[in-house]
Amino acid sequence: MREGRVIRAIGGFFDVFDDGHIRRCRARGVFKVKGTTVLVGDFVRYEPVGAQEGIIREVLPRRTELVRPPIANVDHVVVACSFVTPDLSFYMLDKTLLQVSVAGVEPTIVFTKADLVEQAESDAAVDTYRRVGYEAVAVSVRQGEGLDRLRWRLKGHVTVLAGPSGAGKSTLANALAPGISFKTGEVSEKIGRGRQTTRHVELVRLDDATWLADAPGFSQLHVYVASREVKFHFREFLPWAQRCTYRDCLHLDEDGCSVKSAVEEGRIPASRYMSYKQLYEEAREQELNAY
């Protein structure tokens, strides 16, 4: 048997990339009986049939798995958010970063449509996230700004794009992979966000070690996080949390909280702390509603 990577799934067939060639494969019937799924991004063992087809016999262990979009072995997420149309929401950005962290994937934050705002606004947004340890870049596809830095970040990774509808994910993907058509959708003036265009997940090969996912439009990656675990996914909290009076401090109403002191002193961005409190409350509400 041979090994390859699933790069496309359509109508019960799976296109498997192996050593520069693509074979259209079916999964063996026992997969359905055992509840085994085959996802785009999976490494599989398959049996060649003829010159262009094959049968998938085994799905190899996954390093990561996302539910929405349904894709395996992603190790990098580009979190795209626009400065305008739709307007920048730090809360939505932080919510996506939380989901990325829970999924165990490394993010790069991309602020799109940088040519439509003042340089000072662009610099401030980028600086806020670089200060707390994220890779962040402002991009203008129209002017070519920031694209080289982003291409460097993609090298050697399997990347999926996340972020609000209308943030320019498809436009960004087309700029990063010229000659490959990613569907784009305009922003609805009535609702202020983009219309979904892509209907299936597909991996697009940029070079031998670099892949970009063309995935259905989505606002957030979907993973579960317990309310008490939310604080661990705000990486800038960790050095200060060690100084809190209470070991299990949630950084909310407790006395002697070093994280709250760091926020008051400007050492932790206030917008990030506000996002943390809101995300904690959302996670807590989900837990209470589950019982």
- How far is C-alpha 199 from the geometric centre of its chain's CA atoms? 18
Query: 261 among the known binding-site residues?
Result: no
- 171 has binding-site annotation: yes
* 169 labelled binding-site residue: yes
For CA atoms 248, 252, 257, 261, the dihedral sign is positive
54 is in an annotated binding site: no
251 annotated as ligand-binding: yes
| 257 labeled part of a ligand binding site | yes
Say whether 144 counts as a known binding-site residue: no
166 is annotated as contributing to ligand binding: yes
Whether 239 has a binding-site annotation, put simply, is: no
Tell me: is residue 197 an annotated ligand-binding position.
Answer: no
248: left (phi over 0), alpha (psi -120 to 50) or beta: alpha
256 is in an annotated binding site: no
Residue 244, annotated as binding a ligand: yes
Residue 167 annotated in ligand binding: yes
140 phi, psi to nearest 5 deg? -125, 105
Question: Is position 107 annotated in a ligand binding site?
Answer: no
Q: Is 113 annotated as a binding residue?
A: yes
What residues are designated binding site for Zn(2+)? 244, 249, 251, 257
What residues are designated binding site? 112-115, 163-171, 244, 249, 251, 257
What residues are designated binding site for GTP? 112-115, 163-171
